Structure 1
Amino acid sequence: MEYRDRGGSKSIKNIIFIVTKDCQLACKYCYLVGKNSNEKMTWEIGKQTIDYILNEFSQSKGIILDFIGGEPFLEIELIDRICDYFKVEAYKKELVCFNNYRFNVSTNGINYNSPKVQEFICKNKKHVSIGITIDGTKRKHDLNRIWKGTNKERGSYDDVVKNIPLWLEQIPNAETKVTISSADIPYIKESVLHLYSLGIHEVNINCVFEDVWKEGDDRLFEEQLMELADAIIDGGYYNDYVCSFFTEHIGKPMDCQMDNQNWCGAGKMLAVDAEGNFYPCMRFAKYSLRSKDALIIGNVRDGIDKNKLRPFLTLDRCTQSTQECIDCEVASGCAWCQGENYDAADTPTIYQRSTAICKMHKARVRANNYYWNKLYRKLEKEGEREAFENNKPKSNAPKC
């Protein structure tokens, strides 16, 4: 999404509301280093943001409002009010998007069954998508996703898993996002299979982008993925379930002349915080940064500063990658986070790509090759390859 002159772009717009920086949990791998209970969006800022969106992007064919935190459902009354205001104003202005919109919420799932959340879901059931984060087995989930303010590091698995049946009933094709850090590598296989057993058919899973990896983690990672590959193929899960670690078209060289797209969507989305400041992505807000200043590109009163946004619109793979990354034989599918690039860079630049996950990506590629080679050998032996290729489950997850 490019930000053009008022009303000039007809693409779908994605707006991220940081409604609170508070959360019930203190997840050990969380990149939000500045969570607190003080910074909460007011109704006035929420209203001004909607007014700005509907004015600036009045010709957009669709609007997506993303609500994040912290834990966004701590501010369910504000979210509900913002969404109601959006619907009424879009209808009154007779905008194209008045019936082409979606409300996305990323939640830890703890408050999912509360009356106010359920009322919000029922009211917007045709236009709402909710992602609940559950990391896998109780052992893996509770290793990192712990309640804040406790001395015993009480895990949150039991508080989340009880809401999964209701979530799966209300949100068709619901998917979860699993995060892998150094400490929980040994539990990858059992966790993915456990999520399948809960009825979750799509597991989107990724390694943290921060430099947390230890010597030998890549070897353990590869072993776990190969064991998972065996379990998925031998158990026949591949027909109905998706794990994003196994993606057919990764691990190949990249040609900057043919495919030079930026991986991350920073600059093509818009995030707004409690003070009404705009960011190219929520990862550029201060509470997401360890060592750099926030990178603000405007606010709800003055709009977007296109000079501050312009560098993000020029980002591509080659302008921020080392020659080693450009020439890498398994470059395709190697991801990065623009906010982490900025935070980890030697200088305040967005053009220095962080390579902390290099070894982990290469390990994933080796396991991915093993998965597809084994799967297709099995399908060919059983005469089912063509049927599988015509009907194989596809991920619904966005790239970033």
Structure 2
Amino acid sequence: MSETIARPPAVWQESVAKTVTFMVTEDCQLRCGYCYFSGKNSHGRMPFEIAAKSVDYLLFHPEIFNEKAVVWDFIGGEPFLEIDLVDRICDYITERQEALEHPWKENFRFSFTTNGILYGSEKVQAFIRKNLPNLSIGVTIDGTPEKHDMHRIYPSGKGSYADTASNIPLWLSQFPGGSTKVTVSSPDIPFIAESVLHLYSMGIRHVSINVVFEDVWKKGDDRLFEEQLVALADRIVEQGLYREHTCSFFSETIGQPLIDSHNWCGAGRMLAIDGRGNFYPCHRFTPPSLGNRQAISLGNCFDGLNSNRLRPFLSLDRFSQSPGECMRCEIASGCAWCQAVNYDTAASPTVFERATFLCGMHKARVRANNHYLYKLEKALSCSA
């Protein structure tokens, strides 16, 4: 089966790369309904001096940051609103890695997630041309105009689909294997199937799609979710789209018993840096991202990393945070969680209490995935 169906693009240096996230701005052109930043946006930006000091701290402490590779990740807000700052930071990183003969100089990526609105601008394109060999860019487009514009809107309420979609052909010409990120919350479940198919029709072959981790799900959402995924599975198989396209909702690896204890979430193994130089286990642990708890800082670029604050995150695994029902679950593989959402919604301020808001949605996904795999195997056997 594996030789006749498409595979999602491999994650660059997965499991060996350190991800360092610069939150270069809290500003964004949009006010997306499902965004954890929505309503908290400010015009705060990261001074270059903070970024440079953070870079130096990482490069001068290989005994702490000893991974074989690094992903220098830039987010907002919308990172391309600060393209001049981003360009300067990336130049500094490249120069310092070279000057220090750091092992990362031969093994790094600059990574961006963007709403795509400024993608075609002269400054952004000049930056891309200069850094293309070491660049990874994902554009977020949620699917059909109707689905996209339900959430991804300007402050005026106007949808952003047209502005994002206009830059997709250029993006695909530069990143032909690029994957787009689609987010699903309760109101737009009915649009999942048509949205994924719409993205395929735009030339996007790999769709990374996920449901939000927050507690937004209503009674019956799991049934509607399953119906949409079954409808999508039928279309993918019947039209032979599986040969060149992927959708992350479907996989041969989900819905099985789990015996390993690895933590689904990478919080603590990555490092996020805000505009004041504070270190966090992930950008979701920063003050604007949390609604109920205090942010958890792991130190800063002036005083360094606090290993005592980091230690709990490194000890997190499936066993240490999951309730008994999750540990006994026979379809646990692929069931995701967000460490920050766990922390923000726990009964007490702890990272060792796993939220189970997605239990019903995961089970629905597994049932639909089983349907997809059955239909796919049947189609492949008929064509053999």
TM-score scaled by length of structure 1: 0.90
Offset of residue 206 of structure 1: 0.6
User: Please, which moves more after superposition, 277-286 or 85-94?
Assistant: 85-94
CA distance in 1, matches of 2:314, 2:66: 21
CA distance in 1, matches of 2:104, 2:320: 35
| Equivalent of 1:86 in 82, 86, 93 | 93
Q: In the alignment, what sits opposite 2:12?
A: none
CA distance in 2, matches of 1:236, 1:187: 21
CA distance in 2, matches of 1:107, 1:314: 32
Deviations 1:258-302 (A, max 9, x none): x11000000100000000000010110001001111100100011
> Is this contact kept in 1: 2:21–2:283, CA < 8 A?
yes
> Is this contact kept in 2: 1:180–1:205, CA < 8 A?
yes
Q: Which residue identity is paired with 1:27?
A: C
> Is this contact kept in 2: 1:60–1:96, CA < 8 A?
no
Is the partner of 2:210 in helix, strand or coil? strand
> Is this contact kept in 1: 2:32–2:38, CA < 8 A?
no
Offset of residue 191 of structure 1: 0.4
Q: Which runs of at least 4 in structure 1 moved beyond 4 Å after TM superposition?
A: none
Structure 2 residue ranges without an equivalent (≥5): 1-14
Change (3 A) 1:292 1:209: same
| Equivalent of 1:44 in 40, 49, 69 | 49
Offset of residue 59 of structure 1: 5.7
1:54 aligns with 2:59: yes
Q: In the alignment, what sits opposite 1:67?
A: 74
> Is this contact kept in 2: 1:33–1:288, CA < 8 A?
no
Q: In the alignment, what sits opposite 1:262?
A: 263
Deviations 1:232-255 (A, max 9, x none): 000000011000000111112222
Q: In the alignment, what sits opposite 1:341?
A: 342
Deviations 1:48-106 (A, max 9, x none): 01111111137653221000011111111111000001111111111222132110011
Q: In the alignment, what sits opposite 1:209?
A: 213
1:20 aligns with 2:25: yes
Deviations 1:2-37 (A, max 9, x none): xxxxxxxx9532100000111111110112256323
How many equivalent pairs are there? Answer: 368
CA distance in 1, matches of 2:249, 2:256: 15
Q: In the alignment, what sits opposite 2:126?
A: 119
CA distance in 1, matches of 2:204, 2:283: 27
Q: In the alignment, what sits opposite 1:178?
A: 182
Q: Which residue identity is paired with 2:74?
A: F
CA distance in 1, matches of 2:345, 2:39: 17
Q: In the alignment, what sits opposite 1:381?
A: 382
1:108 aligns with 2:112: no
Deviations 1:316-348 (A, max 9, x none): 001101101111121111000001001111111
Is the partner of 2:142 in helix, strand or coil? coil
User: Please, which moves more after superposition, 155-164 or 30-39?
Assistant: 30-39
What is the correspondence of 1:84-163 to structure 2 with a 5 Å cutoff? 84-148=91-155, 150=156, 153-163=157-167
> Is this contact kept in 1: 2:31–2:38, CA < 8 A?
no
Structure 1 residue ranges without an equivalent (≥5): 1-9, 384-400
> Is this contact kept in 2: 1:262–1:316, CA < 8 A?
yes
* RMSD between superposed Cα atoms in Å: 1.3
Q: In the alignment, what sits opposite 1:322?
A: 323
CA distance in 1, matches of 2:91, 2:40: 27
Q: In the alignment, what sits opposite 2:302?
A: 301
CA distance in 1, matches of 2:330, 2:100: 52
Is the partner of 1:65 in helix, strand or coil? strand
Change (3 A) 1:97 1:30: same
Is the partner of 1:15 in helix, strand or coil? strand
CA distance in 2, matches of 1:144, 1:327: 36
CA distance in 2, matches of 1:206, 1:188: 11
CA distance in 2, matches of 1:104, 1:34: 25
Is the partner of 2:256 in helix, strand or coil? coil
| Equivalent of 1:245 in 240, 244, 249 | 249
> Is this contact kept in 2: 1:43–1:82, CA < 8 A?
yes
CA distance in 1, matches of 2:263, 2:38: 25
> Is this contact kept in 2: 1:271–1:280, CA < 8 A?
yes
TM-score scaled by length of structure 2: 0.94
Is the partner of 2:377 in helix, strand or coil? helix
Q: Identity of aligned pairs, percent? A: 57
Q: In the alignment, what sits opposite 1:388?
A: none
